[in-house]
Structure 1
Amino acid sequence: MKLRAICTDIDGTLLNSDRQLSPRTLATFRQLGPAVPVILASSRMPAAMRHLQQELGILHQPLICFNGGYVIYYEDGKSDPIQLDSVQVPVGVCQEIVALTHGTDIHVSLYERDNWYAPQDDEWTEKEARVTKVTPEITPLAPILATWHQAGIGAHKLMCMGPADQIETLQQQLNNSFANQVHAYRSKDTYLELAPRAISKATALELLLKARFGIGMHEVIAFGDNYNDIAMLQAAGMGIAVGNARDEVKAVANAITADSKEDGVALAIEKYWL
C-alpha cells in the first residue's frame, strides 16, 4: 500500500496532556517536508486550528473544520480562505435547539465560519477559549439567529456544554426530534457537539483529497480517538487509533498506536512513513 497523505484529528489525538504539540510531534511532522499533504480534521473552527498549522509548518495545507462542515484552504498572502465545501445546520433548527436548553444550566455556543458567539463569559466560555486560543463574541443568541434567518445562513456547529445529566437528556431529545438533520455526539460527558447529519470528516476528506491533490482515500493514513473519527478511519487506507481512543474507534482501526500524551501520532508516522 502506497500512502500519499496524512490526516489527523487534533484534540485527544495529536495534542499532549497540556493540549499542546509536543517537541517530538513537531520534529516528526517537520521531517515530512512541504510536499506531503498533511490535513488537520477537527470539530474546531479555523482560527482554533491555524496556530497549530503554523507550529507544524503547514499553513499552505487545507483544513477540515467543524467535523467536515467547512472545508477550506488559504492561498499565499491572502487572509480570506478559499472554500471547498460548506454545510450548515439550518437556522430554524438552531432556534429550536437553543429553545430546548431554556431553563437548564446548559451553555450553547454558535459557530459560523470563523465566528464564535457565546451568550455569556462563564466557566464554559473561559475553558473553551483557553484550550482553542480563540476569543468569542459575547452576545445574546436570539439577535444572531434573527440575523442569520434574514441572511439565509445557519450554524456550522452548535456546542452545548453543561452538567452531564442535562447534556444526556438533551442528546436524547435531539436524537428523537432531529436525528435526520443533526448529528449529536458527546466529545466528553459535559460536551455535546452538533453538526449537520449529511457531513463527516470522511466525506470532507474524500472531497478535498480529490479536489486538491488527486489522491484517493485508500492512499491516506488517518488518526483519531473519538466517535466522530470512526468513519474517517474506516475509509482511510490505514486508519490508526491512539491508545486513549474509545473502544469503538479501536475496533475499526487497522492499528493502534500509543496514547496522545505519549506522542502516538508521531510514533506511528515514524513507523509507517519516515
Structure 2
Amino acid sequence: MKQIRLIALDLDGTVFNDQKEITPRTLAAIQAALQKGVAVLPATGRTVTGVPTQFTDIPGVRYALTSNGASVVDLQTHEKLVNLPFEASLAERAYDVVAPFGGILSIFIDGQSYTTRANAQTSLEMVPANLRKYFRTSRIEVEDMHRTLQDHKDEIEKFSMMYATEEIRDRAWQAVMQACPEVEITSSLERNMELNAPGVSKGPGLMALAKRLGLTREEVMAVGDSGNDHTMVEMAGLGVAMENATEEIKAVADVITADNNHDGVALAIEKYVL
C-alpha cells in the first residue's frame, strides 16, 4: 500500500466523541500526521463557517471539505478548490418538493447556512441536543427562505432538513426521489435528509482535492460513520469505518476501527499512517 498523504475525517460520530470533543489522543494523532507532512482535513456536511475551530485551529490544517463535497476550501487563502453548486432551476424544483413537509429546512449558500426565524426560534427540539448550540450559532436567520434561494440561485451548495419523525423524513425522501431523481440524497443524523447537486458527495469532492494536490487514490485515507460518508469511504484508497458506523458504511470500508468514544480515529492514524 502506498504511503497515506491525505486524510479526510468526518466530524460528528468520527473525530468528535459524543460530547463534541476531540480527545487528547485523537488530537495528538492528527498533529503527528500533520508534522509528518500528511494533509489532514475535516470532511463534513457542514458549511465552512460551521466547521468547529477546535479542528480548523490545529496548526497545519489547511483544507476543509464542506457541504458534503460541494465546496472544498483552502483555509489559508480562502480559495474554493472545488465548487459544485446546484443548477438554479434544479434548486428551485428541490425546494418546491421539500418545503411542504415542514421540519427545519436550512439552505447552505456560499459557505453560509440560512434558515427562517421561525425555524431558529421554535423548532430546535427536532435537533439532537448535542447539536443545538451549533445550530443556533451557525444559521443566518431570514424571513423568506424562497426569496433567499432566488437571490443566491447560483450559489446553492446543499439543502439540509431535520424532521420531527422518521416517517415524515421518509415521505419527504420518497417525494424527492420521484420529483428530482437526479439529486444526491443522503443522511448524516437520525431524522435528517440532505440534498446535493447530481454527482456531488464527499467522495468525488475528496478525489478532486487529491487530484489538485497531485495525489493518487491510493494515497488517500477517509474515515466516517454515516450515510453521507459512503462515497468517500468507498472511493479512498483506504476507507475506514468507525465501530459506531452504520452497516452501510462498514460494508464499503476496507477496515473498521474503534468507535468515536474510544479514539477510533487515533487508532486508525497510528496504525496506517504513523
TM-score tier after normalising by the smaller chain length: 0.7 to 0.9
Distance 1:104 1:211 in 2: 39
Query: Could you report, residue by residue, the CA deviation over 1:131-160 in whole angstroms, capped at 9, with x for unpaired residues?
Result: 3674322112122123124xxx14101111
Match of 1:172 in 2: 174
1:147 to 134, 145, 151: 151
Return 13-22 or 104-113, whichever deviates more.
104-113
Letter of the 1:189 counterpart: E
Match of 1:224 in 2: 224
Between the two proteins, the alignment pairs up a number of residues equal to: 264
Spell out the pairing of 1:9-88 with structure 2 (5 A cutoff).
Answer: 9-34=10-35, 35-49=37-51, 51-59=53-61, 61-75=62-76, 81-88=78-85
Q: Is the 8 A contact 2:98 2:176 kept in 1?
A: no
Question: CA-atom RMSD, angstroms?
Answer: 2.1
Distance 1:171 1:33 in 2: 39
Q: Does 1:268 align with 2:268?
A: yes
Letter of the 2:152 counterpart: W
Percent identity over the alignment is: 27
Secondary structure of the corresponding residue to residue 184 of structure 1? strand
Distance 2:139 2:99 in 1: 21
Q: Does 1:116 align with 2:117?
A: no
Match of 1:259 in 2: 259
Unpaired segments ≥5 residues, structure 2: none
Query: Could you report, residue by residue, the CA deviation over 1:155-202 in whole angstroms, capped at 9, with x for unpaired residues?
Result: 10111111222111000000111111x111222331111111222212
Distance 1:221 1:191 in 2: 26
Q: TM-score scaled to structure 1, two decimals?
A: 0.88
Q: Is the 8 A contact 2:187 2:228 kept in 1?
A: no
How far is the alpha carbon of 1:22 from its aligned partner?
1.3
The structure-2 alpha-carbon separation of the partners of 1:132 and 1:23, relative to structure 1 and needing over 3 Å to count, comes to: farther
Secondary structure of the corresponding residue to residue 3 of structure 1? coil
How far is the alpha carbon of 1:126 from its aligned partner?
7.3
Q: Is the 8 A contact 2:157 2:196 kept in 1?
A: yes
Return 221-230 or 99-108, whichever deviates more.
99-108
Q: Is the 8 A contact 1:98 1:108 kept in 2?
A: no
2:103 to 84, 106, 130: 106
The structure-2 alpha-carbon separation of the partners of 1:192 and 1:89, relative to structure 1 and needing over 3 Å to count, comes to: same
Secondary structure of the corresponding residue to residue 152 of structure 2? helix
Return 261-270 or 127-136, whichever deviates more.
127-136
Q: TM-score scaled to structure 2, two decimals?
A: 0.88
How far is the alpha carbon of 1:96 from its aligned partner?
3.1
The structure-2 alpha-carbon separation of the partners of 1:37 and 1:261, relative to structure 1 and needing over 3 Å to count, comes to: same
Spell out the pairing of 1:124-273 with structure 2 (5 A cutoff).
Answer: 124=124, 128=131, 130-131=133-134, 134-139=137-142, 140-149=144-153, 153-163=154-164, 164-180=166-182, 182-212=183-213, 214-273=214-273
Letter of the 1:248 counterpart: E
Secondary structure of the corresponding residue to residue 100 of structure 1? helix
